[in-house]
Amino acid sequence: MVRLMRTASLLGVAALFAGGATGCGTSGQAGGVSPASASATTATTATTATTTGAPPAEPVGASATGAASPTPASSPVERTLAGMSLPDKVGQLFVPVLWGAGADASSPENQSRYGTPTPAKVIKKYRPGGVILFPWAGNVKSVGQIVALTNGLQRSSPAVPLVVAADQENGPVSRLAPLVTKIPAASVIGRTGDPALARQAAEVTGTELRALGINLDFAPVADVNINPRNPVIGPRAYGSDPQKVAGMVAAAVKGFHKAGVASTAKHFPGHGDTNVDSHTGLPVIKHSPAQWRRLDAPPFKAAIDAGVDAVMSAHVVMPKLDPSGDPSTLSKPILTGLLRDKLGFKGVISTDALDMAGVRKKYGDGEVAVRAILAGADLLLMPPDLPRAHAAVLKAVKSGRIPERRLDESVRRLLTLKSARGFLERAPVADAAKAERVVDSAAHRKVARRIVERSSD
């Protein structure tokens, strides 16, 4: 069964790019393991997910390729968009870090960076589309504290509910440790060879995030770790075989969706073959178009076919895909040409964190934000200077450098994600008592143990 599915995935990717060195055309469903073919999630985990009120696995109005159907003029998305001012729309693009354990907690970091002391006041001032939580920003103390924080953040944005995001991959990137279940790294899950376990792991993580009031995870990693000297991906990837990684990624997307949490495949067009960390430098990957199609593309195609909500860009240069020398985050040939036009992705394109060195080599922080939108990005993650970036994008729209219709495209995608995951018209409210029961539960720890046992078989 798994062998047949891997073959189908390979044929799907090959068909997608048939007809030339740069790839053209589209295919039907590519690889990945379908929900029906994966073994059933444990009854205890499924029950836990149900108690969180998770919506259906498939995004509302989305096709199997993650393409959002046209939204009627009377839809909640269009009504919300029509009621937004230009600054509202620009704000919606940004997902910053806000310092503090509570929405009304004052922090000198907020004051120095944003000109106002509390997360709630920053949200009122800039009206961002979301926030991302980190322990180093004082956001992660206890289960009850996170619930109070996320509820307070949502109350601070009454017009349009927030994306509340976490970078919870598990393994070495676990921003909510030690509170959440200690799920093994993707590489451990990959060694089991069982996509059903990837789905169960994602469902456990998604269920716990949802209980805490977090509605988007920047996971799973879709990179293929083909360079053993890779300093930044390594155990974060499911493995070094593109087809096996594709099956795991597709299964993880389905697991997050069953839990009612939006998922993000990262880092496009692929960060697996580098020996430079994009947090501190600018990696260059010299894959030809043919190598990219064979080595890097299959997991992203599988994620799109599984209905992934967002795809995160990589701060890497791929000169044979775009000779400009710009990182992929700022590359229209890569984000629009490959991801949108070739792979057919219609969801949200997120940048990787904009405070990383890999994206700041050539341009200032305001110009980076503008160029990311022009390249095709929708969500600007963690700008190091939010006031400067916000002002630069607003100025670019007013001058016509970024057409307002282009701005509307990004805002529409972000609102569509919120609608598909059930938090556009009404902000979710997390329950502290329920979260205490769900987070790091015995049933979830059992899933983690099963993965470890199977990985050593």
More confident of the two residues 6 and 258: 258
Give the residue, 208 or 53, on which the prediction is more confident. 208
pTM over 0.75: yes
**What is the per-residue pLDDT for 368?**
97
pLDDT digits (tens, 9 = 90+) for 173-212: 999 999 999 999 999 999 999 999 999 999 999 999 999 9
Q: In b/e form, how buried is each residue of 102-111, taking b as 16+ CB within 10 angstroms? A: bbebebeebe
pLDDT reading at 12 higher than 50: no
Least confident of 256-270, 272-286, 425-439: 272-286
Concerning whether 352 is annotated as a catalytic residue, the answer is: yes
444 is catalytic: no
pLDDT tens digits, 406-434? 999 999 999 999 999 999 999 999 999 99
Which of 51-65, 107-121, 259-273 shows the lowest mean pLDDT across its residues? Answer: 51-65
pLDDT at 7: 39
Distances (CA, A) of 221 to 187, 287, 388: 10, 19, 30
Question: What integer pLDDT is reported at residue 36 of this predicted model?
Answer: 31
- Residue 275: band (very low, low, confident or very high) from pLDDT cuts 50, 70, 90: low
Higher pLDDT, 125 or 49: 125
Residue 338's pLDDT band, with cuts at 50, 70 and 90, is very high
Task: Work out the pLDDT band at 279, boundaries 50, 70, 90.
Answer: low
Is 44 or 267 the better-scoring residue by pLDDT?
267
Q: What is the pLDDT of residue 188?
A: 97
pLDDT at 23 over 80: no
User: What is residue 253's predicted lDDT score, i.e. its pLDDT?
Assistant: 98
Determine the pLDDT at residue 345: 98
Mean pLDDT over each residue of the chain, to the nearest integer: 86
Note the pLDDT of residue 157.
97
pLDDT of 35 higher than 90: no
C-alpha torsion angle, residues 337, 339, 340, 341 (rounded to 10): 50
CATH number of 2-455: 3.20.20.300
pLDDT surpassing 50 at residue 22: no
Residue-wise pLDDT tens digits, 359-373: 998 899 999 999 999
Mean pLDDT of 125-142: 98
Q: Which of 194, 223, 305, 352 is catalytic?
A: 352
What's the pLDDT score for residue 457?
78
Q: Which residue has the higher pLDDT, 73 or 43?
A: 73
pLDDT score of 436: 98
Is the pLDDT assigned to residue 134 strictly greater than 70? yes
**Predicted confidence band at 65 (pLDDT cuts at 50, 70, 90)?**
very low
Single out the catalytic residue among 241, 279, 355, 440: 279
Mean pLDDT across the stretch 38-50? 35
Tell me what percent of the residues of the chain surpass a pLDDT of 90.
76
User: Domain residue spans in the chain?
Assistant: 2-455
Amino acid 276: pLDDT? 56
- For residue 182, the model assigns a pLDDT of 97
3-state secondary structure the chain: CHHHHHHHHHHHHHHHHCCCCCCCCCCCCCCCCCCCCCCCCCHHHHHHHHHCCCCCCCCCCECCCCCECCCCCCCHHHHHHHCCCHHHHHHHCEECECCCCCCCCCCHHHHHHHCCCCHHHHHHHHCCCEEECCHHHCCCCCHHHHHHHHHHHHHCCCCCCCEEEECEEECCEECCCCCCCCCCCHHHHHHHCCHHHHHHHHHHHHHHHHHHCCCEECCCECCCCCCCCCCCCHHHCCCCCHHHHHHHHHHHHHHHHHHCCECEEEEECCCCCCCCCCCCCCCECCCCHHHHHHHHHHHHHHHHHCCCCEEEECCCECCCCCCCCCCHHHCHHHHHHHHHHHCCCCCEEECCCCCCHHHCCCCCHHHHHHHHHHHCCCEEECCCCHHHHHHHHHHHHHHCCCCHHHHHHHHHHHHHHHHHCCCCCCCCCCCHHHHHHHCCCHHHHHHHHHHHHHHCC
